[in-house]
Amino acid sequence: MSFALQRRILLITLSSIASLYLASDFKACQAQESVIEKPSEDTRAATPTAEAEPSTSNPVVGEKESAIDSTKPSDIRMATGRVFIDANNDGKFGIGDQPFVNVRVSNGKEIVHTDPSGKWQLPLEDDAIFFLIKPSGYQSKLSENNLPQFYYIHKPNGSPQLRFPGSKPTGAIPESIDFPLYPSDEPENFQMLLFGDPQPRNNQEVDYISHDVIAQLIGDTSSKFGVTLGDIAFDNLDTFEPLNQAIALIGIPWHNVIGNHDINLDAGSRKHINETFEATYGPTYYSFDYGQVHFVVLDNIDWKVEGDKKSYLPNFGARQREFLKNDLDMIPESQMVVLLMHVPFLDCEDHQEIFRLIEDRPFCVSVSAHRHVHTHHFFGEKEGWKGDKEHHHVVNVTVSGSWWSGARNDRGVPHSTMGDGAPNGYSIMSFADGRYMLDFRGAGIPADEQMLIQLPDEVAAADGSERVF
Ligand SMILES: [Zn+2]
């Protein structure tokens, strides 16, 4: 074994330890600091009412804004709809179904609450996506690939002609855009899966993902849902569908964050870079509640055009910041907020503006991926963070590791060890007894193997003058 090779092994081993040590240190730290308190009064997910029409006596309305506002100027076009509990499971509002009061619905900017008859109304623009903000204890219908169907795409003329297809023409806005909800048993203590960058170039690499990571999770519903943190694909958006099918085998609802390799690179304008993603997964940013935790899926991939050259720029943008502000204004400070994004926070041009929206919240953590390493960051004064407590940002391990490179392992899959020496894999984030924890899982490695320490046969002594065996 050459000295260079020994040095490399030692380096890899030490960086793996460093990565895992940070994870366990974080656990100890969070055990003391992160306490989720139950909101004193949950005014968001109201008990559904059986009334079919608005009640004239003492109606229950949202604390921010009633959905129906007759003072709006008549020249603003409005979309309307209803949220309801779909008792007969047919997806349509009908006899026996209950209107859902006080659920939040958004157009990507404004957020309104449904009125006592479950109705909402929002300004309408062409090429809009309307979505509901899933309340705790309920879930939307799932697609056959377990993707939540919580949105309606309004694209009257459909997507432009692109290499990878987008939405078909949707025509005129429906008279009522209705969102069914279904009761779901959501425990206060739960865990979820976090997949960074699966990033398959082709179907062979989708197979790597299936064998290396998904196989060990199939049928394991101890995690209540999962999130892919962007770079679902590697520019070839034809892999969306086979990867969705593979992940669906796990058997739990799955959310998706957009990454820089999930965009339509041949789009002629900024407006159309997300056509295929949206047609497949829905809005690129939104939020939802699960149990006592509020999750916000964010889109920090912007489009930069310099002459003929197009590239992405990590940035959230004004419209999304406005949505986030409106969204967080409705979440009690005592509620845990988890921000999910693709590009690490500090790389985003407008990260300071997002800091201003979250730094007063005592319980907020954020997770990204994109770097193909696994690291923990704690933002303080040096990073321009003005909150009393540091902000914890996790750059999550990636499913693809180092982009499926290296010699094949005994499962026929490239070892794909990441640049920091940690194996490729995924994380489990759990929320229990007022704390959150993050567990690193190496692909194909049993849960009880969280650390691997290897000592080379020989190492150099500290002063380099003698060899120690
Ligand atoms: Zn990326």
- Nearest CA to 86 out of 118, 55, 112, 58 is that of 118
Task: Report pLDDT for 42.
Answer: 36
Q: How far apart are CA 347 and CA 350, in angstroms?
A: 9
1, pLDDT greater than 60:
no
Q: What is the whole-number distance in angstroms between the Cα of residue 54 and the centre of ligand 1?
A: 47
Q: Are 229 and 194 in contact (CB under 8 A)?
A: yes
Q: How far apart are CA 125 and CA 156, in angstroms?
A: 10
Cβ atoms < 10 Å from Cβ of 305? 11
Task: Report pLDDT for 211.
Answer: 94
Helix (H) or strand (E) holding 73: none
Cα 114 to chain centroid, rounded: 25
Q: What is the whole-number distance in angstroms between the Cα of residue 230 and the centre of ligand 1?
A: 7
15, pLDDT greater than 70:
no
Query: Strands, E, within 100-168: which ranges?
Result: 104-106, 111-113, 119-123, 128-133, 138-139, 151-154
Q: How far apart are CA 112 and CA 114, in angstroms?
A: 7
Q: What is the whole-number distance in angstroms between the Cα of residue 367 and the centre of ligand 1?
A: 13
Q: Are 48 and 100 in contact (CB under 8 A)?
A: yes
- Alpha helix stretches (DSSP H) within 75-187: none
Residue 312: which pLDDT band, with cuts at 50, 70 and 90? Answer: confident
Task: Report pLDDT for 26.
Answer: 33
Cβ atoms < 10 Å from Cβ of 160? 14
Tokens at residue 290, please? 């699960």
% helix, strand, coil for the chain, step of 5: 20, 25, 55
Residue 126: which pLDDT band, with cuts at 50, 70 and 90? Answer: confident
323, pLDDT greater than 90:
yes
Site of tokens 């009880």 = 448
- In this prediction the pTM is 0.83
Q: Are 288 and 137 in contact (CB under 8 A)?
A: no
Average pLDDT in the chain:
84
Structure letter (DSSP) for residue 313: E
Task: Report pLDDT for 455.
Answer: 80
- Written as one letter, the residue type at 382 is K
Task: Report pLDDT for 40.
Answer: 34
Q: What is the whole-number distance in angstroms between the Cα of residue 56 and the centre of ligand 1?
A: 52
Q: Which residues surround ligand 1, an ion (CB under 5 A)?
A: 231, 259-260, 370
11, 66, 132, 247, 248 from 144: Cα distances, Å: 44, 34, 20, 11, 8
Q: What is the whole-number distance in angstroms between the Cα of residue 317 and the centre of ligand 1?
A: 18
Task: Report pLDDT for 51.
Answer: 32
Q: What is the whole-number distance in angstroms between the Cα of residue 32 and the centre of ligand 1?
A: 33
- Nearest CA to 269 out of 305, 242, 234 is that of 305
164, pLDDT greater than 60:
yes
Q: What is the whole-number distance in angstroms between the Cα of residue 302 and the centre of ligand 1?
A: 12
Task: Report pLDDT for 444.
Answer: 87
Beta bridge partners of 306: 309
Comparing 29-43, 201-215, 400-414, the range with the smallest average pLDDT is 29-43
Tokens at residue 14, please? 């030490």
DSSP for 170-181, written as a single string:
--SPPS-EEEEE
* 332-350 average pLDDT score: 96
Task: Report pLDDT for 351.
Answer: 98
Q: What is the whole-number distance in angstroms between the Cα of residue 314 and the centre of ligand 1?
A: 10
306, pLDDT greater than 80:
no
Residue 248: which pLDDT band, with cuts at 50, 70 and 90? Answer: very high
Q: How far apart are CA 139 and CA 297, in angstroms?
A: 16
Q: What is the whole-number distance in angstroms between the Cα of residue 195 and the centre of ligand 1?
A: 13
227, pLDDT greater than 90:
yes
DSSP for 8-55, written as a single string:
HHHHHHHHHHHHHHHHHHHHHHHHHH--PPPPSS--SSPPP---SS--
pLDDT tens digits for 189-216? 999 999 999 999 999 999 999 999 999 9
CATH T-level assignment (fold) for domain 78-183: Immunoglobulin-like (2.60.40)
Q: What is the whole-number distance in angstroms between the Cα of residue 343 and the centre of ligand 1?
A: 6
Cα 344 to chain centroid, rounded: 13
Q: Are 48 and 99 in contact (CB under 8 A)?
A: yes
- Nearest CA to 445 out of 469, 419, 413 is that of 413
Q: How far apart are CA 288 and CA 366, in angstroms?
A: 15
Q: What is the whole-number distance in angstroms between the Cα of residue 142 and the centre of ligand 1?
A: 27
Q: What is the whole-number distance in angstroms between the Cα of residue 407 and the centre of ligand 1?
A: 23
17, pLDDT greater than 50:
no
28, pLDDT greater than 50:
no
Q: How far apart are CA 119 and CA 61, in angstroms?
A: 11
CA angle 333, 336, 342 (to 5 degrees): 120
3-state secondary structure of 337: strand
pLDDT tens digits for 345-382? 999 999 999 999 999 999 999 999 999 999 999 999 99
Q: What is the whole-number distance in angstroms between the Cα of residue 248 and the centre of ligand 1?
A: 22
CA angle 233, 296, 257 (to 5 degrees): 5
CATH T-level assignment (fold) for domain 7-36+186-442: Purple Acid Phosphatase; chain A, domain 2 (3.60.21)
129, pLDDT greater than 50:
yes
pLDDT tens digits for 49-82? 333 333 322 223 233 333 444 444 556 789 999 9
Q: What is the whole-number distance in angstroms between the Cα of residue 371 and the centre of ligand 1?
A: 7
Q: What is the whole-number distance in angstroms between the Cα of residue 29 and the centre of ligand 1?
A: 29
Q: What is the whole-number distance in angstroms between the Cα of residue 111 and the centre of ligand 1?
A: 29
Q: How far apart are CA 414 and CA 425, in angstroms?
A: 13
Q: How far apart are CA 220 and CA 357, in angstroms?
A: 36
Residue boundaries of the structural domains of the chain:
7-36+186-442, 78-183
Residues present in the chain in total? 469
Q: What is the whole-number distance in angstroms between the Cα of residue 372 and the centre of ligand 1?
A: 9
**Which segment, 71-75, 148-152, 451-455, is predicted with the most confidence on average?**
148-152
* 445-467 average pLDDT score: 73
Site of tokens 């590697």 = 234
Q: What is the whole-number distance in angstroms between the Cα of residue 320 and the centre of ligand 1?
A: 19
- What percentage of the chain has pLDDT greater than the value 90? 70
Q: What is the whole-number distance in angstroms between the Cα of residue 132 and the centre of ligand 1?
A: 27
Task: Report pLDDT for 464.
Answer: 59
